[in-house]
Amino acid sequence: MFIINVEGALRHQGKWLIIERSKKEDHAGGKLSLVGGKVDPEGNSSAILERSVKRELMEEVGVAVKEELRYVQSTSFVSDKGENVVNIVFLCEYDSGEAAPVSADEVESVLWLTTEEVMNHPSAPRFLKDSILQAELLDK
C-alpha cells in the first residue's frame, strides 16, 4: 500500500510559492518543497485529490486557489521513514490570501522564487526542481 501525497505548484506574478519544510518533518525536513500533504481517508468521495491540495494550501500557508487544477505529474518515492509514497502534483491558479507559515510544525518559511532561483537554490532537492520544470511547461 501507498501513502498518497498531493502538492500544489502555484506561480503568481512570475514566481513559484515554495516552502521551507519544518525541520520537525519526518521527510525532507529543512528542504524546500511545494505546499502539500497526505490525502486523508474519506470513504466514498469524489475529487479527493483536488480538495486535498486546496486544503493543504489553506492550512499550511493561508492561500486559496481557483477551482480548476491541472495535473502536472505523479511520482513515487520511499520516505525517510521507509514508507512508500505516491506523490501527485497539480498546477494551481492563485485566488486570494497572503502566503505565510500558518502551520509552524510543517512550514519553516514561505518563499516566492523564480524558476531560475529554485534551480539554483542549495536547499532545493531534485524532486522539487523536476516538479517546477514540469509545471512550467503547462503554465505557458
Which residues, at least 6 apart from 117, have a Cβ–Cβ distance to it below 8 Å?
A: none
CA angle in degrees (0–180, nearest 5) for 115-116-121: 100
What is the spatial distance between Cα 81 and Cα 74, in angstroms, rounded to a whole number?
20
* Per-residue pLDDT tens over the stretch 101-139: 998 888 899 999 999 999 999 999 999 999 999 999 998
* Per-residue pLDDT tens over the stretch 55-88: 999 999 999 999 999 999 999 999 888 999 999 9
Q: 83: closest CA among 28, 24, 21?
A: 28
Q: What is the pTM of this model?
A: 0.93
Question: What is the set of domains in the chain, with CATH numbers?
Answer: 3-138 (3.90.79.10)
